[in-house]
């Protein structure tokens, strides 16, 4: 059985968080490379990482404007975002809907990495 990967974005966004920006770029590049190679994978947004959905939806800064083409190139591989984190905690539910990203889990609970593993994914955390 071929391994399928879950690229899980949990990094913070914003110019004051260059480490989070770096992790986001590496997540997008990994997705681009997996897609080009035909490796099975999906991208998932958990925790504060769901705010990247709002950032790429609205493109308020040079970082998201610069990397928006790469995000768009792999957007069709996004498997979802944690429902609680996106809709309740970090205000990214509207952007998730606008981008066509499904919310996973129940409204009052988190979607878990354990659920991804149970679905056969090997998680890669960014």
Distance CA 34, CA 126 (A): 15
Dump pLDDT digits (tens) for 36-86: 999 999 999 999 999 999 999 999 999 999 999 999 999 999 999 999 999
Res 8 pLDDT > 90 = yes
Dump pLDDT digits (tens) for 16-40: 889 999 999 999 999 999 999 999 9
pLDDT, position 50: 98
Q: Sketch the domain layout of the chain as residue ranges.
A: 4-125
Res 100 pLDDT > 90 = yes
Element (H, E) at 122: strand 121-125
Class of domain 4-125: alpha beta
What percent of the chain has a predicted confidence (pLDDT) above 90? 91
- Would you state the torsion angle of the CA atoms of residues 16, 22, 27, 31, taken in this order, to the nearest 10 degrees? 120
């Amino acid at each position: 059985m071929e391994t399928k990967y879950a690229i899980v974005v949990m990094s913070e966004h914003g110019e004051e968080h260059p480490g989070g920006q770096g992790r986001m770029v590496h997540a997008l590049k990994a997705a681009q490379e997996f897609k080009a190679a035909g490796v099975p994978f999906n991208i998932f947004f958990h925790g504060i990482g769901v705010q990247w959905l709002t950032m790429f939806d609205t493109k308020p800064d040079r970082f998201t404007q610069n990397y928006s083409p790469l995000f768009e190139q792999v957007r069709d591989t996004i498997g979802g975002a944690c429902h609680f984190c996106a809709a309740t905690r970090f205000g990214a539910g509207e952007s998730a809907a606008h981008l066509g990203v499904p919310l996973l889990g129940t409204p009052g609970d988190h979607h878990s990495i354990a659920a991804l593993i149970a679905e056969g994914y090997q998680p890669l955390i960014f």
